[in-house]
Structure 1
Amino acid sequence: MRPRTIFLLRHGQTDFNVRGIVQGSGVDSSLNETGRRQAAQFFAAYGHVPFDKVYTSALRRTHESVQQFLDLGLPHEAHPGLNEISWGTREGTRITMDEDAEYRQVLHDWAEGRTDARLTGGESPEEVAARQRPFIELLKAREHEQTVLVCMHGRALRVMLCQLLNYPLRYMEGFEHSNLCLYKLEFTGSFFTVKNFLDVSHLQAAG
């Protein structure tokens, strides 16, 4: 069996991203003008790829990021398991390392391996990983889907990459992300390998 190709994409920019406000799974925002342009740039670069399936989270910003692919009539499934981590009571508020002691402590806990820690009312990385696993098993099992596009969210993407590449979740900060960035993976049927890491060349090439 020849390797399958998985495109893991983070959604495009929203106004919440610009303002530093966390969206999580509870804020169902739309792309802003920059985000729509990023989506168009990605489509310009990869619209020729014969994707067998497009997967998104259940949130609007992922659908909008790949809408031009969906407009081609490509098969599409939305999976809540791909939703962003829940930031609990802090969703819709601005969180920064400098200003927020609780956030700073949770990130420290995660880096130290305490990946069951969470913000008040929110999810832990362990819980995100658990809800992603049924999707991962589905992805592995669908061998006929040779080339797949998956659009999801920043923190959830970090958790997903740790799972696919067999890294402990405490290493998730190593998988950097930005709006409409691409991680391109190959799957041999036994293991995943990264071919493109934090790829934003599609955005730069289009200006």
Structure 2
Amino acid sequence: MTTVILLRHGRTTANAGGVLAGWTPGVQLDETGQAQVAAVGQRLAPVPLAAVVSSPLERCRQTAGAVLDGRDLELQTDDRLGEARYGDWTGRKLAELVKDPMWKVVQQHPSAAVFPGDEGEGLAQTQARAVAAVREWNARLGPDAVWLACSHGDVIKAVLADALGLHLDAFQRIVVDPASISVVTYTETRPFVVRVNDTGGDVAALVPPKKRPRRRRGRDSDAVVGGGAGAAAT
């Protein structure tokens, strides 16, 4: 089983100002965001990570850097984990975008939403590239790896929707706050969503257990009937 910790970047100046940053260069964490990522770096310090992979945008690289502190790992970037390409919406105030007819499509039928302008993409494209990235890193790092992907709110929501088996049109029901972690374990036949929008929970359960004789791989993909005893039982 490969486990990915999906970390959203900390709060930025654009978040605080109600601006859709998109791929705007130079958007950085504000003071609150810096405190958030320092805290999440400390929270995740006990978790051995096989890799830390980030969106190339500065706010994610800043956030991932806090997780890397004290680890013998190099930051790796993957454009496919980058923010949705909002096209002509980039850099505009959310208060203005609410009045745009496209806003309702994004809210109610996001699978059909394609952002305007030459550089705009569809949210379905965003989901496809992000899920492909996660799956490829899973394969590269192997079935026993725990790794971290630092990305953006809509991108993480799209990955979670896929893992939950939800149509993309339902992804707006998922909340992913700044500096939150969401966790998905991928087995041979299905993913298990372990956490969503966790901003302060204990992370001991994310530390892989000591090696035990390997069970039949198919059992790793089985859900526990009745719900099981939780991570504390391992």
Give the TM-score normalised by the residue count of structure 1. 0.86
Unaligned runs of 5+ in 2: 202-234
What SS is found at the alignment partner of 1:49? Answer: coil
| Corresponding position of 2:207 | none
Larger radius of gyration: 2
| Corresponding position of 1:155 | 154
The answer to whether the Cα contact below 8 Å between 1:55 and 1:79 also exists between their aligned partners in 2 is yes
Q: CA deviation at 1:70?
A: 2.6
Of 104, 108, 115, 2:111 maps to 115
The answer to whether the Cα contact below 8 Å between 1:97 and 1:103 also exists between their aligned partners in 2 is no
| Corresponding position of 1:186 | 185
- Please report the RMSD computed on the Cα atoms of aligned residues, expressed in angstroms: 2.2
The answer to whether the Cα contact below 8 Å between 1:106 and 1:118 also exists between their aligned partners in 2 is no
Q: Matched residue pairs, number?
A: 198
Indicate how the Cα distance of structure 1 residues 28 and 168 shifts in structure 2: closer, same or farther if over 3 A, else same: farther
CA displacement 1:130-188 (0-9 Å, x = unmatched): 32243133123131561111110011111111223332110111211111111122222
For 1:101, the aligned partner's letter is D
What SS is found at the alignment partner of 1:66? Answer: helix
Separation of aligned partners in 1, 2:127 and 2:199:
25
Identity %: 24
For 2:133, the aligned partner's letter is F
The answer to whether the Cα contact below 8 Å between 1:182 and 1:200 also exists between their aligned partners in 2 is yes
Deviates more, 1:7-16 or 1:26-35: 26-35
Unaligned runs of 5+ in 1: 203-207
| Corresponding position of 1:128 | 126
Q: CA deviation at 1:107?
A: 2.0
The residue correspondences of 1:1-207 to structure 2 (distance < 5 A) are: 3-71=1-69, 72-96=71-95, 99-108=98-107, 111-112=108-109, 115-121=111-117, 122-142=120-140, 143=142, 146-201=145-200
Separation of aligned partners in 2, 1:46 and 1:119:
35
**Structure with the larger RCO, 1 or 2 (CA within 8 Å, 6+ apart):** 1
Q: CA deviation at 1:56?
A: 0.6
Give the TM-score normalised by the residue count of structure 2. 0.77
